[in-house]
Each structure stands twice: as structure tokens, then as C-alpha cells.
Structure 1
């Protein structure tokens, strides 16, 4: 009986060790160059990113504000919503923004299999390419989950994994007051920060979106402080960081 229990304990410990080994610390992933949280630069630029869109009402409002302040952003879109609102993706590209991959179904599961995740990424790539003419190089994991399976699967599909600066997450998906979003973003901003926001809040088109209400104040703050809002790809390019070969010219982002 003791031998059986010892065997079970050993197998359990071995399995747990392997499970934990599948996720490494952030610095280890950063060293590989396959995952970024922010860019080390002295140039006063930041990258605004928007997840989970496009949204038929909120995304156009966001685009209007970005145009008003001559700001560029990166939109991590889901394939499922891109199919519904292709004209919004076309507008994003036409106005100089970047479209990136955020999976098809937005499955919030850190233990997603490599096969399922690869299917989600490839399906979304095909949809985006059909709509705007190119496959995105950038990919953001759902809910910011990362481990060896997620990162390696993304890399095998030609993706650079883009996270965000941990202090630049106002959790706007929970629709907090605009004042809290503004405070979180404007306090402690640094060159090279990647900011995460969301252009999808529920399904009610009449629902107020605190992100939209906060965005103009944020953009106004950046303008006064001398910060440029650029796409993630432009920030990488200007920082001379090696990234996967793009399917579109970087020159479209460089002024």
C-alpha cells in the first residue's frame, strides 16, 4: 500500500512540476524576443491598443477621436466580430491604424491546446487578410494569458506576442468610471508603454462606454505632454527591434 501511495505521490509531483514548468517568468520570455510588454526607448511615444473589437458603435467613435488628435492605434480584433463589421477594419487601415490578431472566438482559457489555439489564430488571419489584404504579424493572447504552449504556438504561426505594460491596464472592460481610466493611464506614463483598452463593452448598443468618454482626455493629456501615439509596429520599428517579417510595408507607419 505504501509503495502504491508513494508511486501516486511521485507521479502527481512530476505532473505538477511539468505543469508549472510550462509557464516561465516574464524576463525569460522577453529574452527570447517572442513576447513584449513594452519598449525600452527615450522617444516620447506610446502605443494605444484596443482589444475585442470591432464594435459597430464604439469603434467608430474611437476612430473619430484618434483622427482628431492625429493619433494611431493597434486594434487586436477577434475574427468572429471582424466578419460582422469588415467596413470598420477597412476604415482602421485606411486611417493609418494597425489591425492585429486576437483569436476567433476569444476563448478565455490559459490551458488552451496548441491545436485549438493554432486553429483560432489561422482562422482569424484568413479573415483579416480577406478584408484588408494582409495577414497581421502581431498577436495578443486572450486575457493576457501566456505560457510555453501559447507563446510557441503563436511563434509557429509567424506571430510576435504583444502584451501590455502592467501599470497601463485600467480594466476598462469592466466599464469603470471614465475618471478612473484617465487617472490610471495618465499617472506614471513612460515612453515605450503599451496601453491596453477595449472597444467592445457588452452587446447593448445604447450602453455608455466609459473608454470612449475617457479617451479624449487621455489623448489631450498626451498631446500636451508631447507624447505621440503610434502603432505597436511603428514603435518597434523606430526602436530598431527585430520582429517577424511583416506582410505589409512599415513605411505606411513612418512619417
Structure 2
């Protein structure tokens, strides 16, 4: 077979083969990513496989908070919860636990439940099995160092899973949520949060809020507005006799 060459000595048609190869490679990588991350997340979350989205015991509602501790807002939140005699569940970032161990100790002393939210606020979609296991073990260790108590609960950042999550996190109860409010944005806190909270009082509900605004996509001062709305909500709940429980009670 005689191959024709252009002025640069390149074999005609090679460019189209390269383009096809790149396209096939991209498609294969995309398929692998979907199989590793997004598809397991959809199956687990839609099917409710190995996770808790709502409490079976309908004896109250659970307040849960992600992304802390924050040296300003978490302390304000703890003061508010203590004022109303409410115990909540905090899913903490291990790196921030190392920076603020006294806050974790106070959480524990106040009777709150503390769970894992990775050592760094990073999606399981981009974590290898080795690094996912490391995120869990490191966060578990720093929590135990502060509380001297076994860690029982885990919530992955953004609710993202990969194909290895069920196996690597089987020691923990994976907790999702029944209500999420977009409270990481100031505008949502100002305009929609309070009304949404008022509709989330069905017994067995798990409410997800955020006590730190330092994560990607969040407004840094959003927790300030979240806490203001939460105070109004808790005051209304107190008058209505709403019961709050921690995840230890499920």
C-alpha cells in the first residue's frame, strides 16, 4: 500500500486517526468516571442503599450541621442551642477540628453528637480508595482525641459517594437528610430559609444546615444569617412543643 504524504512529510489521514483516538479515550475516561462516582451516588441516594435520609422513629426532628467547626459561628450556634436546650449533630471537617479542638470538646460536653465530614472538604468523586479511607481514619482519630468517644456517624461532603464508599465506611452510619435549604448562600438565608424551616417539622425529619461558610461555593458570612433565622424558628418550635433529637436517638 502506498501512503501519500503532504509537504511536511506527514501521512495523510493520520490527523483523523488521532482525533478518533482522543475521542475514544475521552469517552472511556468519562465512562470510568461515571461508573466510579456519579452512578454509585445516584444508586445509593435514590435507592436509599445503606444510608439514612429520614429517621424511622417519629419522636422528633434532628438538626444537623456540616462544614465546621468555625471559631465564630459554631460558638454562636452552640450558645443558641444551649439556650433552647437542644442537642444537635455536627458533621465536622477534620482539618478544622485540629485547628479548633476546644470547640469540639464543648460540643461533646454539651451533649451534641459529632460525625465525620472528611478531613478536608473534598468530594469522594475524586478520591481513590486509599485516600477516601485516609480521610475517614484521620477525621475519626482527631474527633476521638477530643471526645474519647467512638465515632458512629458519617456524611460525605456534598453527599457524594464513589463505588468504594459502602465498603470503606461500613463501620459508620451514613446520614443524609430529608431537608436541605441552600443556607450556604446569604440570599437564600434572607429570603427563603425561615419559610423552608417552618415546613420541615414532620417528625422523623433530618434537617441539614451549615455552620461554616468557608467551603467552595458558599458565602463566608452565610452562617450569620442562618443562625438569625434558626433562632426565630427555634422560638416558634418551643411555643409549638416541637421535639428535637440527635442521631444517637434514631
Higher radius of gyration, 1 or 2: 2
Pairwise CA distance, 1:233: 1.4
1:171 paired with 2:182, answer yes
Work out whether residues 141 and 150 of structure 1, in 8 Å CA contact, stay in contact via their aligned partners in 2.
no
C-alpha distance in 2, partners of 1:217/1:76? 23
* Aligned match of 1:72: 87
C-alpha distance in 1, partners of 2:31/2:74? 47
* Aligned match of 2:197: 185
Runs (5+) with no aligned partner, structure 2: 1-19
The 3-state SS of whatever aligns with 2:62 is strand
- After TM superposition, the structure 1 = structure 2 runs for residues 1-255 of structure 1, keeping only pairs within 5 Å, are 12=28, 18=35, 22-23=40-41, 24=43, 26=45, 28-30=47-49, 34-43=50-59, 45-155=60-170, 158-165=171-178, 168-175=179-186, 176-202=188-214, 209-234=224-249, 236=250
How many residues matched?
222
TM value normalised by structure 2: 0.78
Pairwise CA distance, 1:136: 1.0
C-alpha distance in 2, partners of 1:147/1:17? 9
C-alpha distance in 2, partners of 1:101/1:137? 9
CA RMSD of aligned residues (A): 2.9
Work out whether residues 170 and 197 of structure 1, in 8 Å CA contact, stay in contact via their aligned partners in 2.
yes
Seen in structure 2, the aligned counterparts of structure 1 residues 180 and 81 have a Cα distance that, compared at 3 Å, is same
